[in-house]
Structure 1
């Protein structure tokens, strides 16, 4: 869904859980009735079972899915994702301005780079 000033004003009154969602790289906002993990899995072209098999045992499923989907996970208390696209930043800022989200954003970009480097080093040792 596209986030607008009108929608944010309406949802602030109607739905206290509106902050629980995903901001896709193109700026579209997705509600997540089944939670963040399932919400991201539904965006991928594989079945849930296939996705679980793809996630390395030594990795965080949540962080892996964030990296794969490029989504920003939103929650009233904090948000987490990779470096935001301009479209994501615009939506995040609008939601913050309306009090739907707080300023707390955790950027996983460096953490994911370290995981990738460690995995590559491990593969090179084999």
Structure 2
């Protein structure tokens, strides 16, 4: 229904929060494929840093309704703007992301070339 009106931007507010891990992973893959097909901007609201890192090509971290950092996943991990962002990412997010390239994290089409 949300796509019937052909919006330029689709907002998904915590769409995977109540799902078991296997269903969550499959639906994340499905959403990535859907986004490629419909070529729409999808804004995901999530508190799950791993989810943000794996689905987003840009991540916006907010505190008290204000943008603290807007960056790529790599930028968020390697150059947190302040202590809040660093704590928000946490060791779990950093450890999960460590050693991966953006191509490893984002489920990109094989035809996409990263620089």
Normalised by the length of structure 2, the TM-score is: 0.30
Is the radius of gyration larger for structure 1 or structure 2?
A: 1
Higher relative contact order, chain-length normalized (CA < 8 Å, sep 6+): 1
Normalised by the length of structure 1, the TM-score is: 0.29
Richer in helix (by share): 1
Richer in strand (by share): 2
